Homo-oligomer: A and B are copies of this chain.
């Protein structure tokens, strides 16, 4: 399929469509109307029609969307038809949680290395992958193509590691550290700031429940 320009707002919504379409596929649903999908996803049918128009994969009026086709096309747009090698820098609970996330592998993200500074973890295996010490990181990057690095370590460690990753060709950083990394423009960074997410929750808790808490 010739890829059209897709707006940023639509791109942000794509993973959610992908998830719903994947669930439908698992439940052996072959076609779905925008109204039914709208009901399930709790967004307007007109937004769904507008968004999914980008992919051409809509059936005739009254016939519904071809679930498998749309799922595949959205997967391609998201780059899920390729495979990615990933390393995890920081082998604490969060790093281990990511390594154990089999779901990522199904989608083409394969963890090939886990690193930590804590020598007590040296050689300990997570899902069959031995934890290496971060002083081996640079050599590892020179010997292995790494597409994505997840940073699950404290702020100062992340700020120290990121330039080493970038210098050795890593172009995508999945950053869980509480800091915004300043990296060259051709490096993509996706931040997951857990404490900021928790602050949104406490804000919403306080502003949607005016009767207050004790």
Interface residues of A (CB under 8 A from B): 11-12, 14-16, 18-19, 41-42, 77-80, 82, 84, 92-94, 96-98, 100-101, 103-104, 107, 109, 145, 147-148, 171-172, 174, 178, 180, 182, 186, 188, 190, 192-206, 208-209, 213-214
Given contacts A42-B180, A203-B78, contact A192 B192 (CB under 8 A): yes
Copies per assembly: 2
Please measure, in the bound complex, the distance between the C-alpha atom of A203 and the C-alpha atom of B97, giving whole angstroms: 23
Residues of B within 8 A of A16 (CB): 180, 193, 196
Residues of B within 8 A of A204 (CB): 172, 188, 190
Complex A-B: 9 CB contacts under 8 Å? A16-B193, A42-B180, A78-B203, A79-B206, A82-B206, A84-B205, A101-B195, A107-B199, A172-B201
Please state if B79 and A15 are interface contacts (CB–CB under 8 Å): no
Q: How far is the CB of A31 from chain B (nearest CB, A)?
A: 22
Please state if B174 and A213 are interface contacts (CB–CB under 8 Å): no
Please measure, in the bound complex, the distance between the C-alpha atom of A156 and the C-alpha atom of B214, giving whole angstroms: 32
